[in-house]
Amino acid sequence: MYKLIATDLDQTLLNVDHKVSDNDIETIKSLKDVYFILASGRGYDSLQGTLKDIGLYNRKDSYVISYNGSIITENEGNRIIFSRFMSFEDLEKLTGIGLKKNLCMHIYTTDDVYIYDIYPKEIDYLKGHMDYSIIDRISLSFFKEKQIIKILFADEDYDYLIRLRKELSLEEEYEITLSSSHYLEFNAKGVNKGQALKKLCELLDIDIQDTIAVGDSVNDLSMLQMAGLSVAVANAAEEIKNDCDVILKADHNHSPVTEIINKYV
C-alpha cells in the first residue's frame, strides 16, 4: 500500500488557472493515512494558497518539499526540518555568467526572490505564481549575508537554454535542471526533488518503494526515478513519459490526482 504521494505543482497539480481542480481538492481531502506532499521548484511561502485549498495549511505532520529540494518544511508554522544552501562563491560565479550572457536571473533567498532584468512575458507568467522583488543591478555586497537557495536563468528561447547548459558544462559543480519551458535552474550539488523525497521518507520512516511521485518536467525526473511508482501527467514532456511507470489519461487541467488515487491508493 502506498503511504506517500509527492506531486509537482505547475503543469501537474495546478491547471492553466494555477488552481487545483474541485475534484482533486475533494479527493485529496478524503485521503486517510497517506501523506500528500507538494514538491515544487518554488518557495514554500508561495505555496500557502494551494495548501489552504487542499486542506493542508498549517497542518501538523504534513510537509512540503520546495526550491527543488533545497528545503523541507513541516506545514505547521513552516518549520524547516531540512535545508541545503548555495555558497556566496556560487552566487558570484553564476551571476557573472548571467550578466555576460545578458540573461534574466532569479536569485532565491530565505527572505525573498530577487529578479534581475525581468522581461514582459516573464512578468505575465509570474502573475499569481509568487511574490518577488525586481532589482536593476547585481550587488554582490547586498547578498553577502543572505542564504542563497537557488539561482535560475530565464529566457524565452528554450532551445538556447538547452544549448547554454551544454556550453557551460557545470554538471559536476551544481544540480542543474530545465523547467517550465523557459528556466535553467541551479541548486547546490546533490540537491534535487528525488534526494529530498528520500530524506523525507527517512524522517517519516517510510520505505521509498511505498511512495508515488507525479510530475511533468525535467526538474521532476529525480523524484520520479526515486519513487516506488512514477507517474507522468498527460501533458508531460516526452522524455519524462519515457521514464515513468504510468502515463495518465488526465492532463493538468483534468484532475490528475483523482485518477491516480482512484487507481493506485
Looking at the fold, whether 209 and 254 belong to one and the same domain comes out as yes
Question: Residue 58: which CATH number?
Answer: 3.40.50.1000
For 13-24, how does the pLDDT look when each residue is reduced to its tens digit (9 = 90+)?
A: 999 999 999 999
Per-residue confidence (pLDDT) for residue 179, from 0 to 100: 86
Looking at the fold, whether 92 and 183 belong to one and the same domain comes out as yes
The model's pTM is 0.89
Where among 157, 188, 219 does a domain terminate? Answer: 188
Which residue is listed with cell 509537482?
A: 8
Looking at the fold, whether 77 and 206 belong to one and the same domain comes out as yes
Per-residue confidence (pLDDT) for residue 129, from 0 to 100: 78
For 172-192, how does the pLDDT look when each residue is reduced to its tens digit (9 = 90+)?
A: 999 999 888 899 999 999 999
Question: Residue 151: which CATH number?
Answer: 3.30.1240.10
Looking at the fold, whether 20 and 39 belong to one and the same domain comes out as yes
For 56-83, how does the pLDDT look when each residue is reduced to its tens digit (9 = 90+)?
A: 999 999 999 999 999 999 999 999 999 9
Looking at the fold, whether 212 and 250 belong to one and the same domain comes out as yes
Where among 188, 212, 246 does a domain terminate? Answer: 188
- Annotate 147-192 with three-state secondary structure: CEEEEEEECCCHHHHHHHHHHHCCCCCEEEEEECCCEEEEEECCCC
Residue 184: domain span: 88-188
d(CA 70, CA 48): 17
Where among 138, 154, 188 does a domain terminate? Answer: 188
Which CA distances in Å does 96 have to 28, 189, 207? 43, 19, 42
Looking at the fold, whether 169 and 196 belong to one and the same domain comes out as no
